[in-house]
Chains A and B, each alone.
Chain A
Amino acid sequence: QVTLRESGPALVKPTQTLTLTCTFSGFSLSTSGMCVSWIRQPPGKALEWLALIDWDDDKYYSTSLKTRLTISKDTSKNQVVLTMTNMDPVDTATYYCARIHYGDPYYFDYWGQGTLVTVSS
Chain B
Amino acid sequence: DIVMTQTPLSSPVTLGQPASISCRSSQSLVHSDGNTYLSWLQQRPGQPPRLLIYKISNRFSGVPDRFSGSGAGTDFTLKISRVEAEDVGVYYCTQATQFPSITFGQGTRLEIK
Contact = CB atoms under 8 A, between A and B. Distances in A.
Given A104-B33, A105-B37, A105-B54, A113 B104 contact: no
A51 to B, nearest CB: 9
A100 B41 CA distance: 14
Q: Sort chain B's interface into a size bin.
A: 20 to 34
Interface in B86-113: 92, 94, 96-97, 99-107
10 contacts: A47-B92, A48-B104, A49-B102, A49-B103, A96-B49, A104-B55, A106-B97, A107-B51, A108-B51, A111-B49
Interface of B is mostly: loop
Interface residues of A, number: 24
B77 interface: no
Nearest to A114: B48
Given A49-B103, A63-B101, A105 B58 contact: yes
A56 to B, nearest CB: 12
Contacts, number: 65
Contacts of B103: 49
A43 to B, nearest CB: 12
A102 interface: yes
Interface of B: 1, 33, 35, 37, 39, 41, 48-51, 54-55, 58, 60, 92, 94, 96-97, 99-107
Contact of B104 (A46, A52, A63, A100): A46
B48 A111 contact: yes
Nearest to B95: A106
B104 A49 contact: yes
Contact of B37 (A96, A106, A114): A106
